[in-house]
Structures are given as structure tokens and as C-alpha cells.
Structure 1
Amino acid sequence: MTEALQFAGVYVQNTGYIPVEPWRMLSYAFVHNPFSISSPLSILHIAFNMYSLYIFGRVLEPMIGRWRFLVLYLLSAIGGAVAIDLLTSGMSAVIGASGAIFGLMAATFVIVRKLGGNMSQLVVLVILNLAIGFLVPGISWQAHVGGLVVGALVGVIFMETRQRRQQWLQVGLTAGLFALLIAVTVIRAFV
């Protein structure tokens, strides 16, 4: 079942051999198969993702609201997919929520720092988890980096346009970021 939802660059690259299935840029972030990764840390990886979603969800959702949280999660997942497309061979298939989770961490960092909070412990957590992604086979560091970058950008958009009179600017900038991610993917598909 997870094979039908996994993401690899080949699903958006218009090769002519494999059908273009852009929904996989999102679906991969909602599934995980503990037996598909050849690492004994697979179950821990799933547990970390779910625990992180719980922790950052409890912090972020009350701060930014349900809909902004959803937008942040989805855009971070798409950012992870774009990074996978750009930084891996087209056949490197991935599943899991890590890209979106890293986006939540980056947005938390940006938002809490902008509000004057200390995020040094979060920086250590991100560095350790990025290192794990580079060192442990079967974990997509590319999705981590893509989610991190997009999550930080969404956090900046949310913080710089948080006044009620800037609501449409926030929607426009967020939609613009989504359009940019899709444009990068489309350009990559035809280059």
C-alpha cells in the first residue's frame, strides 16, 4: 500500500516511462512502513516523528491557529518533496513525515525567536536529527533540509504578516511560496 503513496522524483519528472503523479509530493508525508527501511532504527524514527508532531503541534497550533498549522505542515511536506526531487536520483523513493516535522521545527524556531524566546535547545535537536539523517541509511536528509527551509520561510511569512490588516498579504505570500515550489518542480520536469 505505501508503494502507491511514496514519493520519488520520477513521479514528477515527466520521463514518459512512469506516469506523472504530483499528489505523491504530499501523500508520502502521511504514510510510513516500519519494514520498508533496512535500519533497526525504523520504529524509533516513526516514534520520533509522531512525538515531534505532538510536541510541536501543541506549541504551534495555539499560536498560529489550526488552518495556518495545516498550511505549514503541507507546505513543509511539499518542500521536502521538492528537495528530494532536486537532490536525489529520480528513483530514490521515500515515505514518512520527517520533512513536514522539520518544517514545524523551523517555524517554531522562527516564531518563538521573533517573540523573544530562547530556542538554543531546538537548534541542538535540529542539528542532531540532521546528523542522523546523514548518517543512518534509509532516512531522507533531503526531505529534512527541504522541510526545514520551507518551514522557516512559512514562519517568517506568518510572523511578518500577523496583524489582521495583513491577512490577505499572508495568504498571498503563502500561496506564492506554494506556486514557487510547484514552479521549481515543473521547471525541473522539463529541463
Structure 2
Amino acid sequence: MEQAVCCYRHQDRETGVRCSRCERPICPECMVSASVGFQCPECVGQARPERQAQRPRTMTGGAVAANPRLITMILIGINVAVFLAVQAVGDSLVQDLILYGAWPPVDPTSGVAEGQWYRLLTATFLHQNVMHIGFNMLSLWWIGPGLEVALGRVRFLAVYLLSALGGSALSFLLANPNAGSLGASGAVFGLLGATFVLMRRLRYDSRPIVAIIVLNLFFTFAQTGTIDWRAHIGGLVTGAVVAFGMVHAPRERRALVQWGTCVAVAVVIVALVVVGTYRINH
């Protein structure tokens, strides 16, 4: 007489089904439906890390996030928090964080020439009034999520921050030291440049984004007395260059090319600031 086969986890339950992976007998309670047959709980647990390791990736190699707007919302939150802090503290906080240019050469007043390089970034989170921050944050909310989905969180943040720094570096090098530069518009222009590069890479119709860039540049140069065109141009070029390295990197050397591009752009930014600092001190 043939001996009854019992579940390996419940010895009092006979079964005729085996795990399709390890072939151990399993009862209905222990059966986990698989693509082919059923698996036991242990095999399912072992396979889960393998499935997690094969999570879908963005076209640039970034992890696909559950919330595609997280970094965008955090950046907006920081901008709004700084704006509210300025309203509470007053102009003294603005003077501690704002960026002043280095042309024509004068005695250092901005702090950048004295080593306060943080102003290159902090100035990009300052805004003059409600309209200023409102326009920039609406633009960031409109442009940011699409890029964040396409690039992944880390790469999107790299594009944003480098664009902000690129705009500040050109502003520091060429702007008048008597007029402070502030605002997230340089970073937003960088996102516009990155969006154009991405749309060209995907072979989408890029005419709408080109029209938006041209229109914004028109308003920029039409109001050079109140708008820092250097920050806008610096951000636009920086964002486009970094995004080009991100989306055109070959798969076999993707990380090397992408982060190498970021490092190269950062070196150029540092060089611009060094030149501006040298100009002031000499």
C-alpha cells in the first residue's frame, strides 16, 4: 500500500500537490499561486528579494518611485519655508543669504569672495514677494513632476541644484555688485532646458517647450532692470547640459557618464566663481 504524502508544514494533512520550485508537498493552506503551479511560503519568501532587485527603472536608470512628486514638493516646501522665515525675521536674513555680483570689481560685499560660497545656493531659495515666489513655485510644480518621473529622484535633484548653482555662478561673475540676485528662476530655467533635451531624446514634439523658453527669455531681456538674465541663461544652459549627459549616456557606462557630466559641470561652476573672486581681490 502506497504511503500517504503529507504537507511538509502540516504533517496531519494529506496532499497531492508539490511546490513547483522545491517540490516539497504543500496543503491548500500553504499553496501560493505562482506563474507556473504553486509554491510553498519559503520559496515565495526567497524569491521576493529577487523580484525587488528587478524593480522597473526610468530611462536614465533611476528607480521608479511610488510618489513621482516627492522631490518637487520638498523643493517647493523649502522655498516657501524660507520665504516665511524672511517675513518673520526681516531683511536681515535676506542680507545674510543673498548673492551680489563681481562686475565691475569692487571691494567684496557679498561674502562669496570671502569664502561664503553658500550664498550661491541660499540665494536661489530667496524671493522678493508673493508674486515672485508664486510664479516660480507654479512653474516648478508644472515642470518638476514630469522630469522627476523621467529622470528619477536623485538625477532630478542633481539637475535642479546644478542649474541653480550654474545660474548663480554666471550671475556672480557678470552681475553688478550693487544689485542682489535671488530667486529660484535659474533652477526653473534649468528644468526647462532639461525638458527640451528630454523631449528631443524621446522624439516628442519639442515646439511647445521651445515656445515657452523663448517667451520667458523675451520677458527676461525686456525687464533686465528687475530680472537677472545671467541667472536665467546660466540655469538654462546648465540644465540642458546635465540633462544631455543623463539621457544620452550609453547603458553600459551609464552611471560613469551621468555623474561624470555632473562633476564636469560642477568644476565649471567652481571655475566661474574662482574667476569672479580673483577679479574682486585683484
Same fold? TM cut 0.5: yes
2:121 matched residue in structure 1: 26
Among candidates 101, 111, 120, match of residue 198 of structure 2:
111
State how 1:72-83 maps to structure 2 within 5 Å.
72-83=159-170
User: Using the alignment, how far apart are the partners of 1:103 and 1:18 within structure 2?
Assistant: 24
Counterparts in 2 of 1:6-155, with a 5 A limit?
6-10=98-102, 15=107, 19=111, 20=114, 21-34=116-129, 43=131, 45-136=132-223, 137-155=225-243
The residue type paired with residue 147 of structure 1 is G
**Contact residue 139 and residue 188 of structure 2 kept, 8 A:** yes
> Is 1:160 aligned to residue 248 of structure 2?
yes
1:108: Cα distance to partner?
0.4
Q: Which runs of 5+ in 1 are unaligned?
A: 35-41
Larger helix percent: 1
The amino acid across from 2:210 in the alignment is V
Task: Report how far residue 46 of structure 1 moved.
Answer: 2.5
**Identity percentage over the alignment?**
36
Native 8 Å contact 1:77 1:100 kept in 2: yes
- Residue by residue, what CA displacement relative to the aligned partner does 1:51-86 show, whole Å, maximum 9, x if unpaired? 111111111001001111111111101111112122
For normalisation by structure 2, the TM-score amounts to: 0.60
- Paired with 1:90 and 1:172, the residues of 2 have a C-alpha distance of 33
Task: Write the mapping of 1:178-189 to structure 2, written as runs, cut at 5 A.
Answer: 178-189=266-277
Q: Is the 8 A contact 1:78 1:147 kept in 2?
A: yes
Instruction: Please give the root-mean-square deviation of Cα atoms over the aligned residues, in Å.
Output: 2.0
Residue type matched to 1:2 in 2?
V
TM-score in terms of structure 1 length: 0.86
Q: Which runs of 4+ in 1 moved over 6 A?
A: none
Residue 176 to residue 110, structure 1, CA distance change in 2 (3 Å):
same
Deviations 1:135-155 (A, max 9, x none): 233211111111011011011
CA distance in 2, matches of 1:50, 1:187: 32
How far apart in 1 are the matches of 2:110 and 2:127?
Answer: 22
Which string of whole-angstrom CA distances, capped at 9 and with x for unpartnered residues, describes residues 78-106 of structure 1?
Answer: 11111212222233211110000000000
Equivalent residue pairs, number:
181
In structure 2, C-alpha distance between the alignment counterparts of 1:106 and 1:75, rounded to whole Å: 12
Q: Distance in 1 between matches of 2:198 and 2:163?
A: 15
Aligned counterpart, 2:5: none
Answer whether contact 2:101 2:179 (CA < 8 A) is retained: yes
Select between 164-173 and 122-131 the one with higher mean Cα deviation.
164-173
1:173 aligns with 2:256: no
Preserved contact between residue 72 and residue 104 of structure 1 (Cα < 8 Å): yes
- Deviation, structure 1 residue 15: 4.3
Q: Higher Cα Rg: structure 1 or 2? A: 2
In structure 2, the CA distance between the partners of 1:8 and 1:18, relative to structure 1 (3 Å rule), is: closer
Q: State the SS of the aligned residue for 1:118.
A: coil
Native 8 Å contact 1:14 1:190 kept in 2: no
